[in-house]
Structure 1
Amino acid sequence: MFVNGKEMNIESGITVDDLINKLNIDKDKIVVEVNFEIIRKEEYCDRILVDSDKIEIIAFVGGG
């Protein structure tokens, strides 16, 4: 499984929500894309990931 362009050894069959928790990321400040498809936050618990998935996690950064 690739996360943000890096191959990671994460077991297949976990949900997007499981992945976010495993990576200790605040899900309120990110957008998740799986295979070029943006996943709605309401679907994080339902979307199952497989080994061939390419995941991008984009974090919002405030600034001025």
Structure 2
Amino acid sequence: MRVNGEEVCLEKPLTLAAYLAAKQFDCRMVAVERNGEIVPKADYEKVALQEEDILELVRFVGGG
């Protein structure tokens, strides 16, 4: 799998939500594009990641 341009090996089957939790992403503060399409937050628990997936993760950061 490729995440933000880097190769990542899936050690076991994971949902998108489980992957984000394992990498300590707050699902409320991240947007995910999977294979060129935005994944709705409501689908994070349903999306089963595959080795051939390409993910782009964008974390929202507040500031002023």
TM over 0.5: yes
Question: How high is the TM-score relative to the length of structure 2?
Answer: 0.89
Q: Which runs of 4+ in 1 moved over 4 A?
A: none
Count residues in correspondence.
64
Paired residues for 1:30-49 under 5 Å: 30-49=30-49
Distance in 2, Cα, partners of 1:37 & 1:13: 21
Cα displacement (A) at 1:14: 1.3
Distance in 2, Cα, partners of 1:13 & 1:38: 21
RMSD: 1.2
Paired residues for 1:47-58 under 5 Å: 47-58=47-58
Distance in 1, Cα, partners of 2:34 & 2:58: 11
Query: Structure 1, unaligned stretches of length 5 or more?
Result: none
In the other structure, the counterpart of 1:19 is 19
**Matched residue SS, 1:49:** coil
Query: Structure 2, unaligned stretches of length 5 or more?
Result: none
